[in-house]
Amino acid sequence: MPISWFLALRFLREGRAQSALIVLGAAVGVAVMVFLSALIGGLQTSLVAQTLGTQAHIVVRPADELARPMLRATAATDVLARVERTAQRARSIDRWQHVLARLSHMPGVTAVSPVVAGPAIATRANATRAVLLIGAEAARFAAIYPIRRRMVSGGYDPSRTGCVIGRELAADLGVSVGDKLRLSTGGESSEMYTVEGVFDLGNREVNRRWLLVATRSAQSLLDLSGGVTSIELRVASVFEAESIAAAVRSSTGLVADSWMQSNAQLLVALRSQSSSSEVIQVFVILAVAMGIASVLVVSVAQKRREIGILRAMGTRRSTIVSVFLLQGAIVGVVGSLVGAGLGAGLGAVFAGVARNADGTPTFPFAISWALIGRSSLLALATGVLAAALPARSAARLDPAEAIRNG
């Protein structure tokens, strides 16, 4: 065993009570960090998951139509014109199969679903509801939304004359699986559809508005045969959605909206949550560092004479420095191990005690080895840095003076 390890361990063992206290201090600090990070991480993950349960990560659609004036002003003439905005009709993406192929090969994209969507009226007996008609290939659409896991009755795989609706819409129209309803769009066309499934996506508005049909049904109802109005994407890492959307925009020339754009406020909230947790962690680390430093400063003062003797017996200055740095490091590592266990235990207890009515934890925890590793590394660095000052003063002791006066 190297001499510095030997002495560091002996010094820590000799000052048992001090060592235990300071390890405990570091442990509490790390526990707070692990607990707080896990709590905030868990909350954020569940918030994002909730938001993204009824929203595609990226929606790609054609650009809005713009009215272009026929006459342009020249040097000689002025044109007085009032250009009216164009009413936006449902339009298909040009050569969408080509776009689809390109999008599905983009890095980071895990699922793509062409969608034909537009407004429609659902009627049953004398009940009428405005709905959002969504035609999509079931397997692809289910890869974007967790719809198949959220079926209340029936299944999601609509036939040519079948539709799948949300729980609220089913209640409003008084229908259940097997019942028929009439769908009409602005024009003359109207068709009878059979309810083949009822879903609950956990969002009242979505449950009331969405009406899912097969692609062909929507194309014929919306008069868009062969076309799709948008392509929806799912990405591997949700926070990269915006950069992927930007890549989509530049490679296809289409409009690509990421969930991050449409939920800017949520993102601001998440960010401020993260930064407030970081501020708290910085102060916790500072407190831990000061605790370790103060104990080691006292230890150097108590051991002045012994350090002098060690120097007299031929111990190098660098060895004395490492003895104290090692003590800081050992305290940091042991403290972080104890603290990580403490934080994880606290989280588990917390998650177990506070539960929602449906049995899911009120505070979802996201504890990971990465989080524990990061906290431990931080505690190790804190310990070594905190020990730097006491170590330096120990190495600078004048041995003759230290031996004489203690």
Residue numbers of the site for another protein (CB under 8 A)?
Answer: 1-3, 6, 10-11, 13-14, 305-306, 309-317, 319, 398-400, 403-404
Shortest distance, CB of residue 281 to another protein, whole angstroms? 35
**Between 10 and 89, whose beta carbon lies closer to another protein?**
10
Please compute Rg for the chain using Cα positions.
Answer: 33
Read off the amino acid at residue 207. N
Distance, CA of 357 to CA of 4 (rounded, Å): 57
Shortest distance, CB of residue 4 to another protein, whole angstroms? 9
- Burial of residue 210 (CB within 10 Å: 0-12, 13-18, 19+) is buried
208 CB neighbour count, 10 Å cutoff: 19
Q: Show Cβ contacts of residue 382 under 8 Å, excluding neighbours closer than 6 positions.
A: 26, 285, 288, 289, 292, 332
Shortest distance, CB of residue 7 to another protein, whole angstroms? 8
Shortest distance, CB of residue 319 to another protein, whole angstroms? 7
Shortest distance, CB of residue 351 to another protein, whole angstroms? 43
- Would you call 266 helix, strand, or coil by DSSP? helix
**Between 337 and 403, whose beta carbon lies closer to another protein?**
403
**Between 167 and 311, whose beta carbon lies closer to another protein?**
311
Shortest distance, CB of residue 3 to another protein, whole angstroms? 5
Shortest distance, CB of residue 315 to another protein, whole angstroms? 4
**Between 314 and 352, whose beta carbon lies closer to another protein?**
314
Shortest distance, CB of residue 8 to another protein, whole angstroms? 11
Would you say 365 and 347 are in contact if contact means Cβ atoms under 8 Å apart? yes
Q: Show Cβ contacts of residue 134 under 8 Å, excluding neighbours closer than 6 positions.
A: 115, 116, 117, 141, 210, 211, 212, 213, 218
**Between 53 and 399, whose beta carbon lies closer to another protein?**
399
Q: Show Cβ contacts of residue 272 under 8 Å, excluding neighbours closer than 6 positions.
A: none
Please give the structure tokens belonging to residue 234. 């799912």
**Between 371 and 402, whose beta carbon lies closer to another protein?**
402
C-alpha of 405 from chain center = 60
Distance, CA of 200 to CA of 168 (rounded, Å): 8
**Between 3 and 349, whose beta carbon lies closer to another protein?**
3
Distance, CA of 34 to CA of 369 (rounded, Å): 11
**Between 243 and 393, whose beta carbon lies closer to another protein?**
393
b vs e for 38-68, b when ≥16 Cβ sit within 10 Å of the residue's Cβ? bbbbbbbebbbeebbebbbbbbbbbeeeeee
CA atoms within 13 A on the CB side of 394: 33
Shortest distance, CB of residue 402 to another protein, whole angstroms? 10
End-to-end Cα distance, the chain: 28
Q: What does the DSSP 8-state code read for residue 361?
A: B
**Between 1 and 370, whose beta carbon lies closer to another protein?**
1
